[in-house]
Amino acid sequence: MSLKHDIEFTLNGVRQRVTVDAGLNALDMLRDVVGLTGTKYGCGEGECGACTIRVDGQSMNACLMFAVDCDGRSVVTIEGLAADPKADALREAFVEHGAVQCGFCTPGMVMQASHILDTQPHADADAIKRGIEGNLCRCTGYKKIVDAIESACCGGK
């Protein structure tokens, strides 16, 4: 039996208390303990970005993060972004530009895109490509993804 630890954190704006194995990663906690399956498991080693979440505003690979380290922090997942009116432009841009093919990378792409828009509101296509270098799309739909993020920059202006 591995050690259990109680943590309390803000998940998509709501206080959350969970008991987790001390060695568990944040991705398995979100999917299996909390039950939010929007955050995807792709590679489990930080290569693909499908599990991108935001912790205290910073984008991170949930698969590389210890769940216990969420304690006291603010975590936002794709479910939280879906309910956030500030992300409307980004969500609509992904639809508008056909930036979704199979859709598996989409939650991670959108989370990372929201981080790019917050930290570099005037990002150009090159900065966006650098920004999503930790996100893989195996349909290789990068062109439309970059177009979508670029069109959402500065609220679509």
Partner 1 sequence: MTEIERYAAPTSLDEALGILQQGEVRILAGGTDLMPQSKAGRLALGPTLMNIRRVPELKGVALDGDAIRIGALTTITELLADPLVRQHLPVLAEACDHFASDQIRNAGTIGGNIGNASPAGDTLVPLIVLDAVVELASKPNGSVATRRMPLAEFFTGPGRTKRAANELLTAVRIPLPRAGHVARFYKFGTRPALDISAISIGIAGVVRDGALTDTRVAFGAVAPTPVRAPRTEAALEGKRLDAATIAAAANAARDEVAPIDDVRATAWYRKELIHNMTKRMLDHVAQA
Residues that bind partner 1 (CB under 8 A): 1-3, 5, 22-23, 25, 44-47, 49, 52, 58-61, 63-66, 68-69, 71, 112, 115-116, 130-131, 133-135
Shortest distance, position 65 Cβ to partner 1, whole Å: 5
Task: Name the 3-class secondary structure at 115.
Answer: helix
DSSP annotation of 154 reads: G
Shortest distance, position 49 Cβ to partner 1, whole Å: 6
Task: Name the 3-class secondary structure at 96.
Answer: helix
For partner 1, which is the closer residue by CB, 1 or 83? 1
**150: its two tokens:** 């670029």
For partner 1, which is the closer residue by CB, 85 or 126? 126
* Alpha helical stretches, state H, the chain: 26-28, 78-82, 88-96, 106-119, 125-131, 142-152
Note whether 23 and 2 are within 8 A (CB).
yes
For partner 1, which is the closer residue by CB, 69 or 92? 69
For partner 1, which is the closer residue by CB, 131 or 141? 131
Note whether 99 and 141 are within 8 A (CB).
yes
Spatial distance between the Cα atoms of 102 and 99, rounded to a whole number of angstroms: 10
Shortest distance, position 12 Cβ to partner 1, whole Å: 19
Q: Which residues pair with 15 in a beta bridge?
A: 10
For partner 1, which is the closer residue by CB, 123 or 148? 123
Shortest distance, position 142 Cβ to partner 1, whole Å: 13
Shortest distance, position 69 Cβ to partner 1, whole Å: 6
